[in-house]
Amino acid sequence: MIHFFKSFTFISLNLIFLISTQIFAQNTFVKTYGGQIGDYGMSVVKTFDGGFAFCGGTYTSNLGNSDIKIMVAKTDSTGNLLWIKRYSTNQINYANRLVQTADSGFVISGTSLPFNSNYQQDVFLIKVNSQGDSVWGGTIGSPGTSSEYANNLMQTRKGSLVTIGQQSPSVINYMYMTKTRSDGSNGFGKTLMSSWIGGVGYGVTEALDGNYLFSGVHGSGQTRYNVLLKTDTTGNVIWAKRWLRQGNKGSIPNCLVQLPDSSIILGSTINYDPNNNLSDTWIARCNRNGDTLKTWVFANCRVSSIFPNTDGGFTICGQTPGFSPSGRLFRVAADGQTIVWEKTYSFYQSLNLKDAIQFEDKGFLLVGSGFSDSNQNQAVLIRTDSAGNTTAPTAIAGIEAENDWVAYPNPTDGKLFLKWGRRNIESIRMVNLMGIEVMNNKVEKGESMEISFIELPKGLYRIELKGKDFKSSRFVVVE
């Protein structure tokens, strides 16, 4: 019995080692997600169920930037696609950030451009449930007087939603923040540092004391600055710092992290030519008051994410400059100079990495888009181990092209034309932002319908199409 027990233990340990090795191997993957025209990824989160969700955009025709929808996808822990949804508030929609809410749903932020006479843009927020069905949505801005853009989104520890971007009342830009409650109510927008002309906000994080940190740029011509602000929870500036930036063709300080010791890491791409063929990564470490402790420059990298390491160094995720970039992931030692390891990902003709997260096992998940040899742009997820190793793209999680439906004109003055092609639509429902039903029409047959709601108050409404095997919704603006 003793001999058998020892043998059994030995075999079990080998089996455990073998199983552990297989599990570890499964935790690295490269998967693409794309339709017939093109998809791209912008932001990724690890979900409460151990899977992932990412947002980005879908080119719904060959018109390029003139026809973009918001795209949100949910996968399991190995990147297998569970569902994909697309949303549209107006014809052109740029989604840039996604956060998961306490109810396992998601909020997506971005910028919406209606096809009206002045083409002014607004910040949008859209809430969806855990299955991607839309719950509420709305825009924040100054219709008719200025354009507002959202470049980043933060969910505070109390659940508030804060965006950072820019406001453009004329040809001049200013840093601009918005804030709402977790349900999208009580929203407001505020200009930050109005004396800093030419301002654009890119980074946002909650400070350890509950106030807010913002990063961005301001200036023009040869006088351009990277900036770091701290505000209270209503956007009143507590302190503001700036650095004259080294590049004169553009800068994107989108990486912002506060460490447990209260110091702040700010990361920025510095562009030296207008075509992004020559770019470096600039990193500053500051104390809690924004005073500079040290700065570093890393050549040939456009940074998208920074992860501080326990040894005092950091890991940088980004891409090489140029028209056909490759993904880059490298770890820097505490001295800020020694590269501990570096990985370059060249799976596709070009690979743009936009966001990354790090796991407890110190591995990473990267999201972006890859342009293939077949001239197709696809969203990409790359799961690596703690040293950046991953597998070659061996599986494609496909997103079949939607036989989509259209609603126009949007915005509308009270009449809306819907066309859904060969889908078997049974009902058309319309609700306001409070979820109150304002219209419900049965559909007997056909591929289109014109509806009228002239007496409805102005605002944002959600149109829902439902059939036996189909359910989809999108937002419509009534003017």
What does 41-89 look like in DSSP terms, one character per residue? EEEEEE-TTS-EEEEEEEE-STTGGGSEEEEEEEE-TT--EEEEEEE-S
User: Per-residue pLDDT tens for 338-358?
Assistant: 999 999 998 888 899 999 999
Domains in the chain: boundaries: 26-396, 406-478
What is the predicted pLDDT for the residue at 392?
A: 77
Q: Which two tokens stand for residue 374?
A: 């077949």
How far CA 372 is from CA of 237, 301, 378, 394, in Å, comes to 45, 21, 8, 14
* Segment 7-19 mean pLDDT: 34
Residue 409 has pLDDT above 50, yes or no: yes
What is the predicted pLDDT for the residue at 50?
A: 94
What is the predicted pLDDT for the residue at 6?
A: 32
* Whole-number Å distance between alpha carbons of 11 and 223: 68
What is the predicted pLDDT for the residue at 305?
A: 95
* Structure letter (DSSP) for residue 38: B
What is the predicted pLDDT for the residue at 91?
A: 58
Please, which residues bridge with residue 442 across strands?
427
If we measure between CA atoms, which residue out of 356, 108, 329 comes closest to residue 255?
A: 356
More confident residue, 455 or 353: 353
Which residues make Cβ contacts (< 8 Å) with residue 104, sequence separation at least 6?
47, 48, 49, 129, 130
Which residues make Cβ contacts (< 8 Å) with residue 188, sequence separation at least 6?
140, 178, 179, 180
**Over pLDDT 90: what percentage of the chain?**
46
* Structure letter (DSSP) for residue 279: E
User: Per-residue pLDDT tens for 265-321?
Assistant: 999 998 887 766 788 999 999 999 999 999 999 999 999 999 998 888 899 999 999
* Segment 38-51 mean pLDDT: 93
Distance of CA 332 to the CA centre of its chain: 26
Q: What is the 3-state secondary structure (H, E, C) of 81-103?
A: EEEEEEECCCCEEEEEEEEECCC
More confident residue, 40 or 60: 40
Considering the domain 26-396 in this protein, what is its CATH number?
Answer: 2.120.10.10
Amino acid, single-letter form, for residue 178: T
What is the predicted pLDDT for the residue at 159?
A: 94
Residue 169 has pLDDT above 90, yes or no: no
Domain 406-478 coded CATH 2.40.50.140: no
* Whole-number Å distance between alpha carbons of 112 and 473: 17
